A and B are shown apart, each in its own frame.
Chain A
Amino acid sequence: MSQTFAEKILAKKAGLDYTVPGQIVEIKPDVILSHDNTAPIYGLFQRMGGEKVFDPDMHSIIIDHASPAPSTKHAENHRIIREFVKEQGIKEFYDVGRGICHQILVESGLALPGEVVLGSDSHTPHAGVMGAFAAGIGRTEMASIWAIGELWLRVPESLKITVTGELGEGVTSKDLALTIIGDLKSDAAIYMSVEWHGEAIQALPLSQRATLTNLMAEMGAKNSFIPPDKKVFRFLKDRARRDYEAVYPDDDAKYTREVKYDGGSIEPVVACPHTVDNVKPLSEIRGTHIDQAFLGTCTNGRLDDLAAAAAVLEGKKIADGRRMIIIPASEAIYLAALQAGYLETFLKAGAVIESPGCGPCMGNHMGVPAVGEVSISTANRNFRGRMGTKESEVYLASPAVVAASAVAGVIESPANL
């Protein structure tokens, strides 16, 4: 029986020959991810009567959401996590400043082809860039996995996105993902598995592919998958923590919906306040006032994102009265950006560089906007109130556009600087 990626991998994990959409299966994930919410999950685990976790080696715990601690309350949360990790013998623990959880899973060879990753974070589908089945779950169900090692999953319907040709000059995977979310709308993939196919996807470097799987959370997807190829296998050489076996959909698998895009038709776009599917061509939005530009996050805080911004900022200055916040997605990226000279370019341009983590993305700290202010950001979400106050606006764009806007003081294309 021909199967999609989701149907096939969930069958394999459940010990079945095949599964069909809507079927409920109980499976043991290979990797479970929790971040700053590890402490509250620990509380739920104890309420369930849990003492020792089912398997400490399943856990990956990363402190990233409010890291380093912006308040005593946050610091107390971190303290509980460190105690928990020690007490349970959890080895994969990444303390403050090491990076954003989704980037760490990929970079540390923890998210692998043909494996199942469940995370108590909505952007867990990110790990599908490595060919894993990766889905976000809630805190209580995470606590339940800690206790009994497994969880019920509904086999999702699948959406196949094929992108032919190649992306044009100055067009990034951020523009591609936002264009698709704008066209199909934010509820198009609720409870679905989104697969990415076509030569335009294969041509992208892994960091750009990760932007696609990451952003599918904004279309409601359960998981998002890019068929692992040589680029993935080469990246995992000397990095993968275990042997793995990739799983691929069958060529004649049945998809609930299939959409096709020509990569060459995609143009730079911006997601406007206050929903990710409110997408407009950059050419229409140019000139919109901004107060702050934010480059970073699990969506676009990788080395090539920083490189794109550095190319724009080289020899230029952030506009008067504006601020630019830059946060590399991990310690490794921070170091590589330092060695490549990008950090010097950023500092000379007047930007502020902060330690790896989520930063102001969800309004915790490190540069939240004031009432009435406008931000342009490389993040994945622009909901009202997202960055801390509902009386502010957030535009989402690619790293080069965010950098160009910081220089211009208004939303601007790098080509027009």
Chain B
Amino acid sequence: MADIQGKVWKYGDNVNTDVIFPGKYTYTVSEPAEMPKYALEDLDPEFAGAVQAGDVIVGGTNWGCGSSREQAVVCLSEAKLGAIIARSFARIYYRNCLNNALPAIVCPEAVDAIENGEKVTIDLENGIISCQAGEFSFPPLPEAVMEIFNAGGLIPYTKKRLVESN
């Protein structure tokens, strides 16, 4: 697995799904490829136009709280975001990240140290974040979940299981 490398977009605590992907689009924008256009629309209007593949979002506590809407993850995974590092994640958001193979990393020390706009490198297999302030480690994913992650997400994982059970 190659390292994740990109520019940091840093935000605060309790960033909710209504500002990540507004509710008014939930039944009008249904194509995953269209979703990145609206990513973080009500939080940072510059993000959607400027985010590059591999970039990393750094959030505070409770990133992704609020609705269960998966578009709030898909609008970022479709933009080829490299990872989200946060002090903590809202539960459904965290699950949605893993199920869409978007690395969601809990590492409060890194959140404190990383500055907005700097370049970071993440070694997912060994659990290491490298930034200007140094290196920070984070615990690897639970094994049962890693299986889904390694399959490329829950869609390919379930596809494989369906084929196996037939």
A interface with B by C-beta (< 8 Å):
24, 26, 36-37, 40, 43-44, 47-50, 65-66, 71, 73-74, 77, 120-122, 124, 136-141, 143-144, 147-148, 152, 154, 186-187, 190-191, 220-222, 275, 362-364, 381, 383-386, 388, 390
Across-interface contacts of B66 in A (CB, < 8 A)? 122, 381, 383
Across-interface contacts of A140 in B (CB, < 8 A)? 70, 96, 99-100, 153-155
With A40-B30, A49-B163, A148-B165 already in contact, the answer to whether A139 and B90 are too (CB < 8 A) is: no
Across-interface contacts of A147 in B (CB, < 8 A)? 158, 161-162
Across-interface contacts of B107 in A (CB, < 8 A)? none
With A122-B68, A140-B70, A390-B42 already in contact, the answer to whether A48 and B155 are too (CB < 8 A) is: yes
- Total of A-B residue pairs, C-beta within 8 Å: 136
Determine the distance from Cα of A152 to Cα of B98 in the docked complex, in whole angstroms: 12
CB proximity to A under 8 Å, residues B149-166: 153-155, 157-159, 161-163, 165
With A40-B30, A187-B14 already in contact, the answer to whether A385 and B23 are too (CB < 8 A) is: yes
Across the interface, do B90 and A384 meet the contact criterion of CB distance under 8 Å?
A: no
* Residue B78 is within 8 A (CB to CB) of chain A in the complex: no
Across the interface, do B62 and A187 meet the contact criterion of CB distance under 8 Å?
A: yes
Chain B nearest Cβ from A375, distance in angstroms: 14
Checking B28, B62, B161 against A190 with a beta-carbon cut-off of 8 angstroms, the contacting residue is B62
Q: What string of 1s and 0s marks CB contacts (under 8 Å) between B1-27 and chain A?
A: 000000000000110101100111011
Complex A-B: 10 CB contacts under 8 Å: A49-B158, A139-B70, A140-B154, A187-B88, A220-B65, A220-B90, A362-B67, A384-B19, A384-B42, A388-B23
Query: What is the chain B residue whose CB lies nearest that of A391?
Result: B42
Query: What is the chain B residue whose CB lies nearest that of A136?
Result: B68
Across-interface contacts of A66 in B (CB, < 8 A)? 27
Query: What is the chain A residue whose CB lies nearest that of B100?
Result: A140
- Sorted from nearest, which 9 A-B pairs have the closest CB atoms? A187-B62, A138-B96, A362-B23, A122-B68, A383-B18, A144-B158, A139-B70, A24-B144, A48-B158
Checking A121, A122, A152 against B145 with a beta-carbon cut-off of 8 angstroms, the contacting residue is A152
Number of interface residues of B (CB under 8 A): 45
Chain A nearest Cβ from B24, distance in angstroms: 5
Across the interface, do B99 and A141 meet the contact criterion of CB distance under 8 Å?
A: yes
Across the interface, do A138 and B95 meet the contact criterion of CB distance under 8 Å?
A: yes
Q: What string of 1s and 0s marks CB contacts (under 8 Å) between B84-114 and chain A?
A: 0000111110111001100000000000000
Chain A nearest Cβ from B17, distance in angstroms: 8
Across-interface contacts of B26 in A (CB, < 8 A)? 37, 65, 362
* Residue B61 is within 8 A (CB to CB) of chain A in the complex: yes
Across-interface contacts of B62 in A (CB, < 8 A)? 186-187, 190, 220
Chain B nearest Cβ from A120, distance in angstroms: 6
Across the interface, do B19 and A385 meet the contact criterion of CB distance under 8 Å?
A: yes
- Contact residues of A: prevailing secondary structure: loop
Across-interface contacts of A152 in B (CB, < 8 A)? 144-145, 148
Across the interface, do B68 and A364 meet the contact criterion of CB distance under 8 Å?
A: no
With A137-B68, A138-B99, A140-B153 already in contact, the answer to whether A363 and B89 are too (CB < 8 A) is: no
Across the interface, do A275 and B96 meet the contact criterion of CB distance under 8 Å?
A: no
Across the interface, do B27 and A190 meet the contact criterion of CB distance under 8 Å?
A: no
* Residue B49 is within 8 A (CB to CB) of chain A in the complex: no
Query: What is the chain A residue whose CB lies nearest that of B95?
Result: A138
Checking B19, B70, B90, B154 against A144 with a beta-carbon cut-off of 8 angstroms, the contacting residue is B154
Across the interface, do A190 and B19 meet the contact criterion of CB distance under 8 Å?
A: no
Chain B nearest Cβ from A276, distance in angstroms: 9
Chain A nearest Cβ from B74, distance in angstroms: 9
Determine the distance from Cα of A345 to Cα of B155 in the docked complex, in whole angstroms: 51
Across the interface, do A148 and B158 meet the contact criterion of CB distance under 8 Å?
A: yes
Determine the distance from Cα of A358 to Cα of B31 in the docked complex, in whole angstroms: 24
Determine the distance from Cα of A275 to Cα of B162 in the docked complex, in whole angstroms: 42
Chain B nearest Cβ from A21, distance in angstroms: 13
Chain A nearest Cβ from B68, distance in angstroms: 4
CB proximity to A under 8 Å, residues B39-65: 42, 61-62, 65
Query: What is the chain B residue whose CB lies nearest that of A221?
Result: B91
* Residue B134 is within 8 A (CB to CB) of chain A in the complex: no
Across-interface contacts of B68 in A (CB, < 8 A)? 120-122, 124, 136-139
Chain A nearest Cβ from B140, distance in angstroms: 14
Determine the distance from Cα of A141 to Cα of B68 in the docked complex, in whole angstroms: 11
Chain B nearest Cβ from A254, distance in angstroms: 21
